[in-house]
Each structure stands twice: as C-alpha cells, then as structure tokens.
Amino acid sequence: MNQETQKIKEKLPSSTPVKKAVLFFLLIVVAIILYWGWGDRLSLDYLIKQETYLKEVQAESPLFVYLSAFFIYVMITGLSFPGAGILSLIYGWYFGLLPAIILLSFASTAGATVAFLLSRYYFRDFIQNKFSDYLKGFNEALKKEGAFYLFMLRLIPAVPFFMINIVMGLTPITAKTFWWVSQIGMLPGTIVYVYAGSTVPSLQQLKEQGAGGILNIQTLVAFTILGLFPFIIKKVINRKTVDSNEQKTN
C-alpha cells in the first residue's frame, strides 16, 4: 500500500466489513419503506388532488410546512431518489420565489453532502485500495483543483447531480470543500427551477406543460454555456501566466 492510499485510508471512519454490511442493509430497508410509503404522496397527481389542502396547511402552520419540506428534499437528494427536479418546480409554486430559493439552496446542498458521505463511507476505501496505482495522479490533481472541477460540474445541467455526489465521495476532496462549492455551484440552477415553478399558477398546469414546457431549451443551453465559462476563464488565466513567464525568461 503506497503512502497516498495510506493517508486516504487513515481519514476514513474505522468500521468492520460486517458493520458496514449491516448498516447498508438497514439503509436499503429504510429507503424502500420511505419510497413505497411516501412515494405516491409526492407524486404530481396526488398533490394536484391535495392542492387546496396544501395551501390551507401552509397558512395554518407555515414553519412546520417549511421544515417538513426541507427534510423531504434532503431525504430525496441524500438517498438519490428520482424526482428532485420536479419537486423543485413544485416548491417554487408552493412557497414562492425567495422562500423556495433559500429552502432549496440549503436543502439540496445538505442532501448532496449526505449522498457524498454515504458514498465515501461505503465505497471509497475499496476503490482507493483496488485502484491505488491508477488513481495516484487523479488524487493529486483533485487535491490541487478539485474545487474548481466540482464547481464547473455543478453548473452543467447535463451532468446528473446524484452522480457528482457519488463520484466525489470516492475522491480526496474534503467534505467542507464539497459543501461550500456545491452551495455556490448549485445556486444558479436552483434559482432557475424555482423561478420557473413560481410562474405556474397551479399544479394542474405544471402537469399539462411538464418540466420541459417550463424549462425551455434556451434556458438549458444558457446553463450549459455557463458551466463551460469557468473552464474557459481558467484556460485564459493559464495562457496569460505562460506568456508572462516566457516574457520574464526572455
């Protein structure tokens, strides 16, 4: 085992394979129970039927509803359940622009960090030991510029966020760095989804238009370009640095 792998291993939580297997099994059981027990209640068809009731509950217990919505979103993103995108639109409709942006910004980052930590706890030890020789250069690169690459990926909507959470959990990037970069990097996308949802007058119209009808192709293209922008800036800075060094040498 090389020194790089040993350092990574020392940072991982100590746990026996049996303990990991038991915890993983319990996690799967909890996820299945939650999905089958509550999955239908978060479906758009079910929420349409409860639209009036949802507005009444919000008016009566706004703080309880807000905290419950936060927990639900953290659970969905943390366990990598499908539906986070459509739920973001629903939250935009339900809470309004600013409250939904604040809620989703922190809930999405919290959920992403949960998924990141689960991936790290269960899989990083195995991956780093199995492919330590191949990952040495990759680990070094991420130590130097991991925050930049994570930020760039967060701005590209074509890259599934749950995949970013899982893959980054296998790398040496720290949880603190992952959290703050994700908090900033996911904010533009959060604003777009919430704004789109806030413009929909009813859940029935959201169902009729679909996410594609609300988030038009121009918006997605704009965010793809935005995602490439940090990469372009980095190239320009590196080029100027090289030119400056060459001038000093000459």
Model confidence pLDDT, tens digit, residues 116-172: 998 888 877 767 666 666 666 667 767 777 788 888 888 777 778 888 898 888 888
Give the gyration radius of the chain's Cα atoms: 21
The residue ranking higher by pLDDT, 88 or 27, is 88
Where do the structural domains in the chain lie, given as residue ranges? 3-249
Closest to 118 in 3D by CA, of 129, 110, 106 = 110
Q: Encode pLDDT of 174-222 as tens digits.
A: 899 999 999 988 888 888 888 888 888 888 888 877 666 666 655 666 6
Tell me the three state secondary structure of residue 170: coil
pTM, two decimal places: 0.74
Instruction: Report H helices in 42-96.
Output: 44-49, 51-60, 62-78, 84-95
Residues with Cβ < 8 Å from 120, sequence gap 6 or more?
Answer: 12, 169, 170, 175
- Other beta carbons within 10 Å of 104: 29
1-19 CB burial, b ≥16 within 10 A, e <16: eeebbeebeeeeeeeeeee
Please give the distance of CA 92 from its chain centroid, rounded to a whole number: 18
The residues, any chain, with a CB within 8 Å of residue 69's CB and separated by 6 or more, are: 91, 94, 95, 103, 107
Residue 201 has a pLDDT of 82
